[in-house]
Structure 1
């Protein structure tokens, strides 16, 4: 028979006791810094492809800890949103303040809001916690036919009036801003881009994603105070992704929470978001989704 060598654990016998004792590992555990706390406000997407579920996983992947305030619940698959159940403004406010009064939140990120009351609640929270960086990821105010266009325009007008003046960073697709401009929802700025209209509403910095500069090539354009402008080349993806700006907005929020100045925070976020978006999959019949699972 082969011999068995027991060398993993040293057993000690105490004659005064009737049992074996195993020595404790006396090595000190490695102390890691606490993760960055970010408060996310947005709808719950049950497909996990965007908004709160996706932001929570992205945040954890990038070394943060997500606190979530549910502003609405979607009925949704990977192709489209079929219905939206909006939370009451009182419930949104209670969720946010319960978390803000308990933990040392370091930044706030907000996604789509579906009512003027929800916008007003966030505006008051942002005013009460003005020391925290506020990142707005703009999208279509209503992505389903559950309300008419006038309601959507009122929500958008409330966002422009109440939230943009408090926003440290606004993230929006160039195509979306161009669409709003063509519909007359954004004022025309002489010799300017639609993003500059957001700056005129009071946003400190505006990051416009996917701005076309020549056929087949575009750039992410960051515009800020005193006509500060930064741009990074961007290649359109071969397939359209669900919530392609989500990881970027999330990463930028984390970088701002860690105290980085805006241009550096956005540059770091672009690199991290590009790394995340390099892996995608298609679990359903709709859009491809960014694979946020951890690969070692």
Structure 2
């Protein structure tokens, strides 16, 4: 998608109605990252929640070194909540020894909060860790479910953004977002022979 079209679409919404949060998912190119940055700079009062999708299990890498560098330089400094997995946090902080060290290092780029998700780890349960102010704030534990899922990270970042838009402070938004996302995965459904998809309307079976 052309960067100028993204700018036009975003401004059409931002200039028409009150917006309380901006959620960013996969960014397709460095040019698009620059376009997103230009939009955010005109609306600096709106909190940004960014899920840095650089690859998928089915499609492999979706990024380039130029894109990651541009995101690191332009998008991270204007992000309120960053939600990387262990692979994404190392892509953004490649010199770090551990995922936790990478997350703390990224806080120096002016990201306010980093929720390091644990879905790609090898632990019996899933441990998500929230960082801010150069330290670990809280750990969140979830049961590790048996399937492969497509869209869990997007669901989490979007639900956190929704909670922040409703006025929740970040810790509460993260807690509620994780609870909601876990329920969508417990109730996930499979379309065809592919991965399971979160059931975001799990209460309406």
The normalised TM-score by structure 1 is: 0.62
Once superposed, what is the RMSD of the aligned Cα atoms? Answer: 2.7
* Equivalent in 170, 192, 204 of residue 262 of structure 1: 170
Partner in structure 1 of residue 75 of structure 2: 163
* Partners of 1:114 and 1:141 within 8 A in 2: no
Task: List runs of 5+ in structure 1 lacking aligned partners.
Answer: 1-86
What is the distance in 2 between the residues matched to 1:140 and 1:226?
24
* Partners of 1:189 and 1:197 within 8 A in 2: no
- State the number of aligned residues: 203
Task: List runs of 5+ in structure 2 lacking aligned partners.
Answer: none
| Correspondence 1:295 to 2:186 | no
Q: Deviations over 1:229-269 (max 9, x none)?
A: 11111222201101212221111001111222111111111
* Partners of 2:3 and 2:32 within 8 A in 1: yes
What is the distance in 2 between the residues matched to 1:213 and 1:115?
28
| Correspondence 1:174 to 2:83 | no
What is the distance in 1 between the residues matched to 2:174 and 2:148?
22
What is the distance in 2 between the residues matched to 1:234 and 1:175?
19
Name which of structure 1's ranges 130-139 and 211-220 shifts more when overlaid on structure 2: 211-220
Partner in structure 2 of residue 223 of structure 1: 131
SS in 1 for 2:128: strand
* Partners of 2:77 and 2:111 within 8 A in 1: yes
* Equivalent in 179, 185, 205 of residue 113 of structure 2: 205
* Partners of 1:173 and 1:208 within 8 A in 2: yes
Compared with structure 1, are the counterparts of its residues 115 and 193 closer, same or farther at alpha carbon in structure 2 (3 Å cutoff)?
Answer: same
Compared with structure 1, are the counterparts of its residues 284 and 213 closer, same or farther at alpha carbon in structure 2 (3 Å cutoff)?
Answer: closer
What is the distance in 2 between the residues matched to 1:141 and 1:219?
21
User: Aligned-pair distance for 1:217?
Assistant: 2.5
What is the distance in 2 between the residues matched to 1:140 and 1:173?
10
Larger radius of gyration: 1
When you count strand as a share of all residues, which structure comes out higher? 1
* Equivalent in 118, 124, 135 of residue 32 of structure 2: 118
Alignment of 1:1-296 (within 5 A): 87-140=1-54, 152-178=64-90, 180=91, 186-188=94-96, 192-210=100-118, 215-293=123-201, 295=204
Q: Deviations over 1:106-146 (max 9, x none)?
A: 1100100111111011111111111111000111168858x
* Partners of 2:86 and 2:121 within 8 A in 1: no
SS in 2 for 1:159: helix
The normalised TM-score by structure 2 is: 0.87
When you count helix as a share of all residues, which structure comes out higher? 2
Compared with structure 1, are the counterparts of its residues 127 and 274 closer, same or farther at alpha carbon in structure 2 (3 Å cutoff)?
Answer: same
* Partners of 1:186 and 1:197 within 8 A in 2: no
* Partners of 2:85 and 2:120 within 8 A in 1: no
